[in-house]
């Protein structure tokens, strides 16, 4: 069957992954209202196309943190890629290197950061970081990725505690014995007798994390710091005040607080608040090229995909993820042209209106 759109990959993944793995990737928190609204919110936004604009040549390139990428779609940090494909994050790294875009590697990778860099030495990568009760754990991995040439740290701030994902509880989800959170291989061996949560001992994440930890992070690294998980203008202003270089507007794919806003609905107030003082990105709900166009029109510099990347891996590993990215690139280029935009600089808020339905 020809894979025509991202939904085709979703259907393939649902059919071919085990129930527990599919449920893990698909899970939202509680009643999944926020997860589902991430998708529905795009359907409430309409495009206002301009015509007769000579779109015979189009250019999808943009920059993030000063580095040029081929189009404004990167890979969001998602855990456990080896559940979807045996090569896991190594395949993800090769696909994103081939498409010349940004890959945010998850702390919870089933390949190590060293393996990922070795597989795609010329790839453009950021590293997603959690803050642990044992600060030395966080500090050690920051120094590892900085030494390996990762270009930014993405501090995830919306997980003081893990959201309640009902299917994972019902399935008693655990990593299979042959897989590990490779970046912490050997670190927790003395604690393996205790309860686990997503591959590492429970209660490892630090719920006391606060804005002062941004200053702590700045004191141990020279890498740009991007905060992932901001949904309000108040926190966007605090991010600016604390001197970070970027914000990813994110609700963790609807996996944390259920009842929060769809990310595309939260985007405009954050863009208006920061006034260009830092770059604003978005994840959650991107399924088509026109979704990308809408996010850029509302002020996102780049968007990141999570679940669709995993679907691509489940289909054909590196090749499948390359197909997912290429489809999004082609759809974005077509949506741009049909809206009268020749390059990303021409995309602005005049392009959209909100549906009255």
Inform me whether the pLDDT recorded for 357 exceeds 60: no
- Whether 249 is in a domain gets the answer yes
- Whether 1 is in a domain gets the answer no
Q: How does pLDDT run across 134-146, given as a tens digit for each residue?
A: 999 999 999 999 9
| Alpha-carbon distances, residue 272 vs 56, 73, 166, 208, 290 (angstroms) | 32, 22, 36, 29, 22
Inform me whether the pLDDT recorded for 355 exceeds 80: no
Catalytic residue among 81, 86, 178, 252: 252
Q: In the predicted model, what is the mean pLDDT of residues 217-223? A: 98
pLDDT in the model for residue 77:
98
Q: Is 170 annotated as a binding residue?
A: no
Q: Is 342 annotated as a binding residue?
A: no
pLDDT in the model for residue 306:
98
pLDDT in the model for residue 347:
98
Is 86 catalytic? The answer is: no
Q: How far is 324 from 310, CA to CA, in rounded Å? A: 10
pLDDT in the model for residue 353:
92
- Per-residue tokens: 313: 């891996």
- Whether 267 is in a domain gets the answer yes
Q: Is 250 annotated as a binding residue?
A: yes
- Whether 228 is in a domain gets the answer yes
Flag the least confident range among 52-56, 168-172, 199-203, 285-289: 199-203
By the 8 A CB rule, do 281 and 69 touch? no
| Alpha-carbon distances, residue 319 vs 42, 210, 316, 323 (angstroms) | 28, 40, 5, 6
Q: Is 286 annotated as a binding residue?
A: yes
Per the prediction, the chain carries an average pLDDT of 96
Task: Tell me the HSE value of 55 on the side-chain side, using a 13 A CA sphere.
Answer: 19
Q: Is 186 annotated as a binding residue?
A: no
User: What residues make up the domain containing 117?
Assistant: 6-354
Q: Is 252 annotated as a binding residue?
A: yes
Q: What is the pTM of this model?
A: 0.97
Q: How does pLDDT run across 151-199, given as a tens digit for each residue?
A: 999 999 999 999 999 999 999 999 999 999 999 887 765 445 577 888 8
Domain count, the chain: 1
> Which CATH number characterizes residue 90's domain?
3.20.20.70
Q: In the predicted model, what is the mean pLDDT of residues 266-280? A: 98
pLDDT in the model for residue 189:
56
pLDDT in the model for residue 193:
56
SS (H, E, C) the chain: CCCCCHHHHHHHHHHHCCHHHHHHHHCCCCCCHHHHHHHHHHHCEEECCCCCCCCCCCECCEEECCEEECCCEEECCCCCHHHCCCCCHHHHHHHHHHHCCEEEECCCCCCCHHHHHHHCCCCEEEEEECCECCHHHHHHHHHHHHHHCCCCEEEECCCCCCCCCHHHHHHCCCCCCCCCCHHHCCCCHHHCCCCEECCEECCCECCCCCCHHHHHHHHHCCCCEEEEEECCHHHHHHHHHCCCCEEEECCHHHCCCCCCCCHHHHHHHHHHHHCCCCEEEEECCCCCHHHHHHHHHCCCCEEEECHHHHHHHHHHHHHHHHHHHHHHHHHHHHHHHHCCCCEHHHCCHHHEEECCC
Percent of the chain with pLDDT over 90: 92
Q: Is 228 annotated as a binding residue?
A: yes
pLDDT in the model for residue 202:
85
- Whether 54 is in a domain gets the answer yes
pLDDT in the model for residue 192:
52
Inform me whether the pLDDT recorded for 207 exceeds 60: yes
């Amino acid at each position: 069957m020809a894979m025509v759109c991202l939904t085709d990959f979703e259907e393939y993944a649902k059919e071919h992954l085990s129930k527990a793995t599919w449920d893990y990737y698909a899970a939202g928190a509680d009643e999944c209202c926020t997860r589902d609204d991430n998708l529905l919110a795009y359907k409430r936004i309409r495009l206002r196309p301009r015509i007769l604009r000579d779109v015979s040549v189009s250019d999808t390139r943009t920059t993030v943190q000063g580095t040029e990428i081929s189009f404004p779609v990167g890979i969001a940090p998602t855990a456990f890629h080896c559940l979807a494909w045996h090569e896991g994050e190594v395949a993800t790294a090769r696909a994103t290197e081939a498409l010349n875009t940004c890959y945010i590697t998850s702390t919870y990778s089933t390949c190590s950061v060293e393996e990922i860099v070795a597989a795609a030495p010329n790839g453009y990568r950021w590293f997603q970081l959690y803050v642990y009760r044992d600060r030395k754990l966080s500090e050690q991995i920051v120094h590892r990725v900085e030494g390996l040439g990762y270009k930014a740290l993405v501090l995830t701030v919306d997980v003081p505690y893990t959201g309640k994902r009902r299917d994972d509880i019902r399935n008693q989800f655990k990593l299979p014995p042959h897989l590990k959170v490779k970046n912490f291989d050997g670190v927790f061996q003395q604690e393996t007798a205790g309860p686990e949560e997503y591959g590492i001992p429970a209660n490892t994440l630090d719920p006391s994390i606060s804005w002062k930890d941004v200053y702590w992070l700045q004191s141990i690294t020279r890498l740009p710091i991007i905060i992932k998980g901001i949904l309000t203008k108040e926190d966007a202003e605090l991010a600016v005040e604390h001197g970070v270089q970027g914000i990813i507007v994110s609700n963790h794919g609807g996996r944390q607080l259920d009842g929060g806003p769809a990310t595309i609905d939260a985007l405009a107030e954050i863009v208006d608040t920061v006034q260009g003082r830092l770059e604003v990105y978005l994840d959650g709900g991107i399924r088509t090229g026109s979704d990308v166009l809408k996010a850029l029109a509302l002020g996102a510099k780049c968007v990141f995909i999570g679940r669709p990347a995993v679907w691509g891996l489940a289909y054909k590993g590196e090749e499948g993820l390359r197909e997912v990215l290429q489809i999004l690139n082609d759809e974005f280029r077509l949506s741009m042209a049909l809206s009268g935009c020749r390059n990303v600089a021409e995309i602005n808020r005049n392009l959209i209106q909100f549906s009255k339905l």
